[in-house]
Amino acid sequence: MKDPYETLGVAKTATAEEIRSAYRKLAKKLHPDLNPGDKSAEEKFKQAAGAYDLLSDEEKRRRFDAGEIDASGAERQHERYYKEYAQDPGGRRYQYQTAGSGFDDFASQDDFLAELLRRRQEQARRAPGADRSYELEIDFLDAVNGATRRVTLPDGGSLDVAIPAGIEEGQVLRLRGKGAPSRGEGPPGDALVAIAIRPHRFFTREGDDILLELPVTIQEAVLGGKVKVPTATGAVMAAVPKGSNTGTTLRLKGKGVPKRGGGAGDQLVKLKVMAPTEPDAALENFLSGWTPGPSYDPRRDMLS
Amino acid sequence: MIITKSEFLLRTHLDRQTLEVWIEEEWLSPEQADPEPLFSEADLARAGLIRDLQGDLGVNKEGIGVILNLVDQIHSLRWALANRIGSQTEE
């Protein structure tokens, strides 16, 4: 890094006013946005701006003069210059008015240029509106079965969103033409609706499968039997096999989440054996007269 | 990349009132939207340029409008020129 006084072309004794005016003179010549085609200007501007940052700060200048700090690292880091964005859609917007009639004089002598500018204006006129993003929270069962839900828009309007069956958390639905209107005569942008799914009291989801923990009685577990099981599409009867236990899992084929392109996942029903919550004299009587076999020790693995 | 007004203010270190003035002067023309206008990366860079002009370069209000207009014309011309050159090398 060069000496900052030298970079700005001022004497060591220069006043703050002299430093500022020297920098301004350089900046007018070197600012990258005022010299969009000159690559060397950008480098020189960084140096000049860095030197100015150092010398325009009284405390920094004092420390530099005293030799406490040097000029290294004093190059200004400019985040961005406008010239890098001028040809983006966002920057082009600012040029449309000049592109229209600003070059009539020589466009009339150059058919190609005239055509180019005409096309660009046409492009601007037909540019679509911006996309708008929304969020929609839906119930678990709406996500599984599909539904139509309404998004209320910030301007008071509303948007009906058709939710396809089997939609997943975080999925984004694109509603064509429901975004911002075009600034010209182009089509409106799209509405992007991000889906959030509220958890369900009983059901949870694992990919295309739905998990459910189903309490059963001791009797149902030991003897087996038909039980009513809730599913996403209503209750069904399912057979609990004889000799089931807590953790035994039943698979209800096709009762899970509909898959894109046909078919559906399964519902997995995990049984949970529940003793009666109220004291039951008959059960107590029976059990006190019952001697389990020697293999019935549920803590065998834990304590041996 | 769409930038909301509050994010724009945060990233440019501008206060609301200054931004209103810049938009009124048509130095910035963000996309009008409800409830607040939406900004682009180009608007962000343009705000940086306006700040440089006003601060470092000491350009007054009238000067900034003139400069921005000329800068826009330069970019239009540079774009047209680049296209013209591009089409000739293809021929």
**Which CATH number belongs to the domain containing residue B24 in this structure?**
1.10.1660.10
pLDDT, position A160: 92
Separation in Å, CA of B76 to nearest CA in chain A: 6
pLDDT, position A93: 75
> Residues A102, A114: one domain?
yes
Task: Kindly identify which residue of chain A lies nearest to residue B88, measuring between CA atoms.
Answer: A112
Least confident of A161-175, A189-203, A222-236, B33-47: B33-47
Structural domain boundaries, residue A12 = 4-83
> Residues A79, A92: one domain?
no
Residue pointed to by tokens 């860079």: B45
**What mean pLDDT is predicted for residues B14-42?**
87
Please give the structure tokens belonging to residue B48.
């940086």
> Residues A56, A100: one domain?
no
Instruction: Give the global pTM.
Output: 0.55
Does some domain include residue A295? no
Distances in Å between the Cα of A276 and the Cα atoms of A108, A263, B6 are: 94, 39, 59
> Residues A213, A282: one domain?
yes
Q: How confident is the model at residue B91 (pLDDT cuts 50, 70, 90)?
A: very low
Whole-number mean pLDDT of chain A?
A: 87
Does some domain include residue A299? no
Q: What is the distance between the alpha carbons of residues A155 and B34, in angstroms, rounded to a whole number?
A: 6
> Residues A208, A284: one domain?
yes
> Residues A21, A10: one domain?
yes
> Residues A232, A283: one domain?
yes
> Residues A258, A281: one domain?
yes
**Quick check: B88 contacting A, CB < 8 Å?**
no
DSSP string for A97-139? HHHHHTTHHHHTT-HHHHHHHHHHHHHHHHPPPPPEEEEEEE-
Structural domain boundaries, residue B16 = 5-90
Rounded to the nearest 5°, which phi and psi values hold at A189?
A: -75, -170
Of A126, A148, A179, the last residue of a domain is A126
> Residues A228, A279: one domain?
yes
> Residues A252, A214: one domain?
yes
**What mean pLDDT is predicted for residues B83-87?**
74
> Residues A169, A224: one domain?
no
Least confident of A97-111, A192-206, A264-278: A97-111
Residue A275 pLDDT exceeds 90: yes
Report the 3 state secondary structure along A201-241.
CCCEEECCEEEEEEEEEHHHHHHCEEEEECCCCCCEEEEEC
- DSSP H or E run through A137: strand A132-138
**What mean pLDDT is predicted for residues A74-103?**
71
Residue A265 pLDDT exceeds 90: yes
**Which CATH number belongs to the domain containing residue A150 in this structure?**
2.60.260.20
Q: Between residues A235 and A88, which one has the greater pLDDT?
A: A235
Testing the interface with A: which of B71, B75, B88 to mutate, by most A Cβ within 10 A? Answer: B75
Give the ipTM of the model, two decimals please.
0.84
Least confident of A34-48, A66-80, B16-30: A66-80
**What mean pLDDT is predicted for residues A44-50?**
87
- Residue B70 identity (one-letter amino acid): L
Q: Between residues A36 and A210, which one has the greater pLDDT?
A: A210
Q: How many independent structural domains does chain A possess?
A: 4
Is there a cis peptide before residue B35, judged by omega within 30 degrees of 0? yes
Q: How many independent structural domains does chain B possess?
A: 1
Separation in Å, CA of B55 to nearest CA in chain A: 10
Does some domain include residue A106? yes
Does some domain include residue A152? yes
Residues of B in contact with A154 (CB under 8 A): 34-35
Which of A215, A205, A220, A199 lies closest to A267, judged by CA? Answer: A205
Q: Between residues A118 and A269, which one has the greater pLDDT?
A: A269
pLDDT, position A107: 62
Residue A183 pLDDT exceeds 60: yes
Radius of gyration of chain B (CA): 16
Whole-number mean pLDDT of chain B?
A: 86
> Residues A142, A171: one domain?
yes
Q: Are strands A147-152 and A158-163 parallel, antiparallel or unpaired?
A: antiparallel
pLDDT, position A84: 86
How far is CA B62 from its chain centroid?
16
Of A99, A126, A153, the last residue of a domain is A126
Q: How confident is the model at residue A103 (pLDDT cuts 50, 70, 90)?
A: low
Does some domain include residue A24? yes
CB–CB contacts below 8 A, A to B: 116
